[in-house]
Amino acid sequence: MTTSSVRVRIAPSPTGEPHVGTAYIALFNYLFAKKMGGEFILRIEDTDATRSTPEFEQKVLDSLKWTGLSWAEGPDIGGPYGPYRQSERKETYRPFVDKLVEDGHAFRCFCTPERLELMREGQRARGAPPKYDGLCLHLKAEEVTSRLSAGEPSVVRMKIPTEGSCDFNDGVYGDVSIPWDSVDMQVLLKADGMPTYHMANVVDDHLMKITHVARGEEWLASVPKHILLYRYLGLEPPVFMHLSLMRNADKSKLSKRKNPTSISYYSALGYLPEALMNFLGLFFIQIAEGEELLTMDELAERFDPGNLSKAGAIFDIQKLDWLNGRWLREKLTPDEFIARTFAWASENGRLTEGLKLAQSRIAKLGELPQLTGFMLASEVGLTPASFAGLKTSPAETLQILDTVQVDLEKILEWNVTTIEEELRAISERMGKKLRVVTPPLFVAVSGSTRSLPLFDSMALLGRSVMRQRLKVAAAVVASMVGAAG
């Protein structure tokens, strides 16, 4: 293969706030393409229609653009192998699924969700791994035809060898062997005619001429299914590279409960994209102490995909802070610093919308920093004293903060209306008046009981910053409950 034919992709599913893990995998692919003189493309994997939303897709695009990465093909710019959004490719997958069924590599399955649940219950009770038991594997062709023509709902599942193992080479893990009996008869086509992730991913990587698949290690266990699909379809699989996940300092998987994980959180707090990419890029290169500050081009120069660690990349916020500080102080000219500051303050209309909200509440402009500062601050300096003036007891305040923390995650589209609706619903569920639930939130959001309208402020701050403020507030109030108890 000539190096110019290298094509890699990032294939995010727009089912939540874009994660720093996506930026980490995207950066790897981008640097790989740059190093090999290949192309980096973006594909949106939205086959899960119940969890994918246009809001999240827009955020994926915005967040990836913010990181400074650019792609040669994608849903926003098109390209020779489009469309680049899987929900628009439904008809593309169909012939591949039909061929698998015709060639006897896949089969129709009519098992109802109720039957599958009973089957799983039985497996759980026996301590057996959850796996399709093969009931529909040997249905006669006539029976399948008549059940299909009677309109009975069905899915298509892939057949899996009963013996031996799938042996393959991974660019990071080396030789890997996964026994076939640990692999499930994966659903390829859902009852609604949409392919599953596995089917769409393999077909698209083939049609989009992807040569190297670099993604998170959580997909390593899916490789046998993918390799088998390539084999069934008579196609050449790409080279696989499974990158170790990012971890918290305690080695646990990076999760939003411990650390903020949304890219938008880091942009809202004023991390420079260059610094975040510099921080993530250091996981892929070997450098000596003192050489840490690197631009994207410098990262690409030193990038060595042949020398990757399985150890897990520790998301050390202090190191990120240190790098960000150095970028701000050493890499920007004063003019650039000022321009970047204004751009950051205006992000998502924070500055202008915040000022509009403040207008009706001030006597002189000098009050603005106090009234609107919380919109830009990285944290609002909460202490037990911040909550002392509330009518609710610390225990009740904590209960409110904890409930709101969990329930706000249910909001699909984050805006003033949906936030207000959800807070009203939460109050009702808690059997409390809205005016009892909101004061603790005012304090959590702004550090003060006198601030801008709550729902608007929450909408402007964004979900990821709100999540962190509520978490900090709950920790402060929990310490008050502990002290009182």
Place of tokens 């039909």: 98
Q: Does 11 bind ligand GLU (CB under 6 A)?
A: yes
Question: Please, what is the minimum distance in Å from the beta carbon of residue 169 to ligand GLU?
Answer: 17
How many residues are there in the chain? 485
Residues 453 and 294: their CA atoms lie apart, in Å, by 42
Question: Please, what is the minimum distance in Å from the beta carbon of residue 13 to ligand GLU?
Answer: 4
Question: Please, what is the minimum distance in Å from the beta carbon of residue 56 to ligand GLU?
Answer: 11
Q: Which of 29, 67, 196, 201 binds ligand GLU (CB under 6 A)?
A: 201
SS3 332: coil
- The CA angle 407-408-413, to the nearest 5 degrees, is 130
Q: Does 230 bind ligand GLU (CB under 6 A)?
A: no
| Cβ closest to ligand GLU, residue 44 vs residue 277 | 44
Place of tokens 């499974």: 242
Q: Write the DSSP symbol of residue 219.
A: G
Instruction: Count Cβ atoms below 10 Å from residue 3 Cβ, excluding itself.
Output: 10
* Residue ranges in 43-82 that form contacts with ligand GLU under rule CB under 6 A: 45
Report, in angstroms and rounded to the nearest whole number, the Rg of the chain calculated over CA atoms. 26
SS3 89: coil
Q: Which of 34, 35, 209, 256 is catalytic?
A: 256
- DSSP codes of every residue in 39-68: EEEE-B----TTT--HHHHHHHHHHHHHTT
| Cβ closest to ligand GLU, residue 47 vs residue 267 | 47
x-marked contacts with ligand GLU along 19-48 as a string, rule CB under 6 A: --------------------------x---
Question: Please, what is the minimum distance in Å from the beta carbon of residue 391 to ligand GLU?
Answer: 45
Residue 256 among the catalytic residues? yes
| Cβ closest to ligand GLU, residue 12 vs residue 354 | 12
Q: Which of 6, 8, 12, 350 binds ligand GLU (CB under 6 A)?
A: 12
Part of the chain binding ligand GLU (CB under 6 A), chosen from 7-15, 124-132, 134-142, 312-320:
7-15
Q: How many CA atoms lie within 13 A of 43 on its CB side?
A: 32
| Cβ closest to ligand GLU, residue 205 vs residue 396 | 205
Q: How many CA atoms lie within 13 A of 83 on its CB side?
A: 13
Residues 45 and 188: their CA atoms lie apart, in Å, by 15
Q: Does 219 bind ligand GLU (CB under 6 A)?
A: yes
At 313, list the tokens: 């990349």
Q: Does 13 bind ligand GLU (CB under 6 A)?
A: yes
**Rule CB under 6 A: which residues touch ligand GLU?**
11-13, 45, 201, 215, 219
Residues labelled as active-site residues: 256
